[in-house]
Structure formats: C-alpha cells, structure tokens
Structure 1
Amino acid sequence: MFISQSWALDINSRFRVEQGQGPVTRSGSGTYGGTCYGTDADLSAIYTEAIDLAQVALDSLNSYATSATVRATVETFFGIKADSSSPTTVSAIDSAQFAYVKWLTYLLLDIFGQIIAFSTGTEDAKISQPGFFCDDSWRWRTEMDYGSDGQMNGRTISQVTGFTTISDTQKVYTITMCPYSFTRAKRKDSLSAWRSKEKIIADGTPLRAALSTPGTLMHELAHLVTKQVVTDETLPNGQKAYFPPNVATLAAESKAKAVKNADTYTWFAIAMYLDQCDWSRQICAQSTSTSTVAKRSNNQTSTDMALMRRSNRRTFLPRVLTGLKGDSRRH
C-alpha cells in the first residue's frame, strides 16, 4: 500500500495547524506563536509521506520471512534476531519484542499501525485534533481551570511546551517542528525521488544522509500516538539514541529500549522506504552492486558522502546531492 498524490492527506484534517499572524499572546486575542504561516514547505505532502513511511515499514515487516534484507535490518535497528535453526522466523527469545514492533494485538496496534490509524482518525478519540506548530516560539497553552465541582472558576493554566507535548490532564497534545527542518539549505522535503528510483543512491552513502522533514514528522508522530510511551532513549555514554549509529548501538545494548525509541522506528522506516539499497549496515549497498560488501558502521567516518551523482540522460543514472552535514535534531 502506498498513498498516491491523488489520495494525499490533508494535515488540517488531523491537526489544528497554527496560522496566526498577530502578536504572541496568551489570551487568545493574537496568536499562541509557533505559526506555520509563511512556511514554504507543503505540510500536507510532508504529512502524507510521513504516513507512507510508516505504511511501507509495516508492509516490510510483513515480509520478514521472505526477505533477508528485512531480517538483517530488523536486527540492526531493533536488535531482534532470526532463529538460528529457522532463519526465516524470529528467535524465541526475541519474539516478545518483535510482537511489540509488528503485530496487531486484540487491545493495541503496533507503533507503525498506530501512526497509520491516527491518519484515518481511528487511532484514539482522545487525541482528536492536536496542535501543530512550525517553531517553538509559542509558550502559552491557555485553558480554563475547573474546580472540584466541575465548574469553570475563571482562572487559566499556562503550559510550557516542548516539541511533542502530551498532557492527558490538560488535554494538551501538540507537535512542534524544528524551524531548521524548513530552512536548512540542503533539506529534503521528500524522499520520493529516491523511493521511485528517479534518483539513484550511490554505494556507500550513509543512511543518515536521508534525514528528511517527513522522517522528522514520523519521529514526532511516534511520540504523539503512543503518548510518549515511545520516547527518546539515552545510551550509557549520555548521548540520545538519534541517527543510525546510535540507534544501532542501542539495539545491541538493549532490545527493550530499542523498541521504545522513536528514532529506531524512523530510521527503520526510511531504510525500508529507500529500498534500492540494503541499509542493514547503515550505509547503502546496492543490490546489483559488484563492489565489496558495505563496511560496518563502526568503520565509518563521520563525514557525509555525496548522496547522488548527476546525469542529464533520460535513463535514471545517479544525480548529485550532497549529504547532510551538521543537521540539528528533533526532540
């Protein structure tokens, strides 16, 4: 399944997108700040692709038994291994973690499934239409305070927010996108050209070069739909488990943490979405390549390689697009 342009999702159908142009106030007479007004990115297209990422990831998990690449990538990013005696199935010791990642249970959708269900409005009626902001300049979420008798008492409550805010008590549910997602010169508002193979990814390209705005949004959706059950895990060295190398390190150290780390889902989804490569070692290995097997991630340098080479021919030879360097990170 893949959401085509004719079935593109409207971000306004699931979010209250801040479009205010007035002064930032907490009274509601102006704007709460964080406006998306003037953002040059197509937010609905970004949202549609974020849902596509989740759908492709879920479809890929369903091919675990038939795809060695999927099995290897699941092991890299989630730490979940195949059974040594029956390599097309998950090892018994990892079956619980795999069920958390993949299966639809009687009471709970898997993480990718929850993201997809949210887009259709069937995920959780309690998160009916969360707020969506395009920077973190907004500081106040004003609501009427209720007394013990259930009646409004005239006071208001202030709420300082982060990038994804969950508060069942105050009914505050928001996603705030980092402004850099929309302003960085080398940003990717879409990975669709690489998905369709209109652009070819060069062997050896690090997966982190595929950082995209839809990927960032899918990361935040994982926080939102699980109400922060999926979080940002921390490695023993104090670093957050962001980007493929740290995600893979987390998977090797703790499968239990890996399955509850937002970036784990993001980078697995991107790896499945860009299926012209085997990303199980965090760098592109073209399936038709005659080059040596991709180097393991611990042999990589921190320098981003060129993602594409350019060609003016109609045949889809690689085009040049430099890797992303020094990108900021969502929370």
Structure 2
Amino acid sequence: MADKEPEAKPGTAAILAGGMSYEHDISVRSGRRVADALRRAGWRVLSFDTDRTLLDRLDKESPDAVVPLLHGAAGEDGALRAVLETLSLPYVGSSAVASRRAWNKAGAKDYLSAAGVPVAPSVTLHRQVFSDLGTPRLLEAAVDAIGLPLVVKPAAGGSAMGVNRVSSPEDLPSAMMATYSYCDEAMVERYLPGRDIAVTVADFGDGPEALPPVEIEPLSGTNDFAARYNPGATRWHAPARLDAEAAERVAKLAVDTHRALGLRDLSRVDLIVGDDGEVTVLEANIAPGMTETSLAPMAIEAAGLDFGEAWARLLDKAAGRGPGGPEPLI
C-alpha cells in the first residue's frame, strides 16, 4: 500500500491595508473581509499596515504572496507595487507600470481611446494652470467644450471622493476647488445620464473574464461616497438589469479596458449604459474595494463563486507566477 501523501501546508498571505490616504477606513474594512475569507479557505493570513516596520516584517515572514488592498495614491499609483517588485515578493494585482497607467484617469483615457474603447469627453486642468490663467475665461471654454451638465472629479483617486456634478456655470468654480482639495488635477467630464454599471474582471489562470455586471441605484440619485459606503443608501442589482445585448457589450468593454491598460488578476471597470443604449467606459480601478457594500464581492457572488475560494485562486496564481514585472500591453 502506497504511503499517504502528506497534507499540503497552507499558504501564507500578507494583506496590506490601511495607509495614510483619504480611503484609509475603506482599506481597513476591505483587508479585514479578505483576511477572514482567506482564513476560512485554509490560508494563514498576516495583516500589515504600511509603516517603518513593514519591510522587516515581510522579510521575516516570507509570505507566499502579498495582497495589496491599500486605496488611494500609495496603494494604486504603482509605488507600493514597485517596492514589492524590488523585494522580489509575489503579489496579487496589476504591476507597478500598469497601476501607474490606470491611476491617472486622463492618461488612462488616452490608452483607452487608442484601443478604440469609448470614453466620455473631458478636459483636465492642473491646479496651477487654473490659478495662473484666470478662472472665468478658462471655465467658460471648458463649459463650451464639454457642455452642461458635467462632472468634476480628481484625475487620480477613488471612492467618489471629490466628485461633483455641475448643472450651471456658476457652480463650476466651487466644484473645481472642492476637487483640488483631493488632487492637483481636476478632470472636467461630460455628464452622461444612464445606468451606473460596474464590471469586475478576474483572471484565475485562463485569461481575463468579466464577472456578472453590477448595477448601482443610489436612492439619492447620486453615486457619491455616502451612497457607496453607507448601508441602505443604495440598491444594487447583481446581475444588472440589462438585456442580453447590453450585458454582452459591457462585458466586452470591461475586458477590452483591462487588456488595453495591461492590467492583471483583478480589476473593476466602471461604465455608463446611456439612455440611448450607448455604453461608455468611465474608469478602471486596480484595487477595488472589498467591503460589505463594495461591488467586486457582489460580482464574485453573482458568478456563483465563494469569496474566499476566489481569493485563494488569485493567491495561488500570484505565488506560482513569482515576482512579477510589467505586464505587456495586449
């Protein structure tokens, strides 16, 4: 009788959550939920914040893979991922280069437009330009170019922080200043009425695939920070209330976006299905939230996947890949 094979030793995952951004609390909640799910899936989980002890602790523990769940600049602009690559630590998610590519919404739009992905018309104004050139004529030109209503939002950032809808020219200066409190670059973008749709793209080893789309229906009518993270402020529909043709279209555009930006493992693509049926990509998020009211977990559940097992598969893939560098553009 053959000897019984020894049981596989559970892998060790290091979750990075917290940080110093405006989205600290969301990151902590995301990290806690993923950690709990991975423990149920049999993983040994270590949770770290980013401080001066982090690198020594990572060296000491030598995790099989790292899960960066930091939101905001430090977690999503590629800087932290570049550190992990320098330390030769495998991690789940997009490379440092791809993260930088997606982080700046204005630059990401250039890549998406070149790939034939439809995006909303916009103009991006740096704080210094806004100050130096004088606001009245500049804002008049922006309104003429984009039209009303419009949306002002940080060119880099997430969780709908600093996002303001503008219906009259008189409201634009205050909206710009509110956005500049979050980012030095403000994107003035055409407001597109329609259904807010989020598509999570996951790659468990066979290439990126779109999970069921999630439709966001904020009861206030605005998909802002409060609507996203306050229980009871929003209805979600997973899968989204789309006909087969529209569902196929948003799935394809989400995967096209993921590929055009060279993303890896997991992303969330936000789109608008217009009242006229047209679909437009708004942005891609390389570190989507994983809280109780976040959209990616809803998509995972709608796909019939166990949340912990889905993350375990992503960790297995990252650990098997080893230290990663830039993903090629496809």
TM-score over 0.5 (shorter chain): no
TM-score of the two chains, using structure 1 as the length reference: 0.26
TM-score of the two chains, using structure 2 as the length reference: 0.26
